Amino acid sequence: MTKRLSNPGSNALYQVELWGLKLVVALFRALPLDPASAMMGWLWKKIAPLTHRHKRALGHLEMALPELEPADREEILRGMWDNLGRVAVETFHIPELLNQPERFELVLDEGSQAVFDTHAPCLFVSLHCGNWELSVLPAVLNRFPMAGVYQALKNPGADQLLRDMRGDLYPGGLFSKGPETARKLMALAKNKSAYIAIMADLKEKRGLDITFFGQKATATPVPATLARSGNLPIIVGRVSRLEGVRFRVEGRLLPVLQTADRKADIQAATQAYHDIFEQWIREDPKQWMWIHRKWA
């Protein structure tokens, strides 16, 4: 049988994309962090509202927060685009950020602090809020061998470049979503050797039905399943941008039920951390990424 060759046109396009990304990275790494972040935030705030994603985000805001006036929704999305532009550039400066603890304010509840003090295996569950890349900062400072789960890019070169940028945040490795990763994470959880971070606010087509902002939505059951199977605590975290390139990083311990009804326990935990997500988003809606197609 003749082996099917990859599309040479796609390979060429990937190379162009990769070199374009490298050029942008080099440009913004050459600039000091604060003005680079401000510049990209300003650009996104001006350009992104002209795209179709702005209209989608407005629809999500109207559904989730119908009490707001149209002008208030536009103001929230201007803040959202500014934040997303800043996050894009700040990703290029992660090693620099980690060496500047004065930029961070850590707020941990008693249960989360106890987990860190004892270095107990745990799961980090977070949402795309503020600079979510930094949600594992408490684990990094406590030298946890944190592993992360992410959605791989189609362009392998660009994917590797962005993985390398996040390497200091995930000394335990970054794993792309897939069946093999799921099996590996389950083994870690059952062996109680898991330090795993998962962004859990995205839509999951084959996920669990939950309620989010009073609307039907779907969610990944993976964090709750891992926690339930390994009897591991979940730390629900968020990152809030305070001003410029300064952040508050919060952690809240979420107990996971261990009853005779495994499915009910997983459902309850998944709904519980989405209830926390909703509370946090309502407190400062411009910090969340409203372009997500979260709702069914």
DSSP secondary structure code for residue 6 in this structure: P
Judged against a pLDDT cut of 60, whether residue 2 lies above it is answered with: no
Question: Is 3 inside a domain boundary?
Answer: no
Q: Per residue in 88-107, pLDDT tens?
A: 999 999 989 999 999 999 99
Contact in structure between 294 and 288 (CB atoms under 8 Å): no
Question: Is 188 inside a domain boundary?
Answer: yes
Q: Per residue in 46-103, pLDDT tens?
A: 999 999 999 999 999 999 999 999 999 999 999 999 999 999 999 999 989 999 999 9
Distance, CA of 174 to CA of 150 (rounded, Å): 7
Contact in structure between 201 and 127 (CB atoms under 8 Å): yes
Query: Domain span at residue 103?
Result: 11-287
Question: Is 85 inside a domain boundary?
Answer: yes
DSSP letter for each residue of 95-124 = HHHHT-GGGEEEEE-HHHHHHHHHT--EEE
SS3 sequence, 170-183?
Answer: CCCEEEECCHHHHH
Distance, CA of 220 to CA of 196 (rounded, Å): 15
Question: Is 239 inside a domain boundary?
Answer: yes
Q: What is the largest CA-CA distance in the chain?
A: 63
Question: Is 75 inside a domain boundary?
Answer: yes
Question: Is 86 inside a domain boundary?
Answer: yes
Number of domains in the chain: 1
Match 């992410």 to its residue by tokens.
Answer: 150
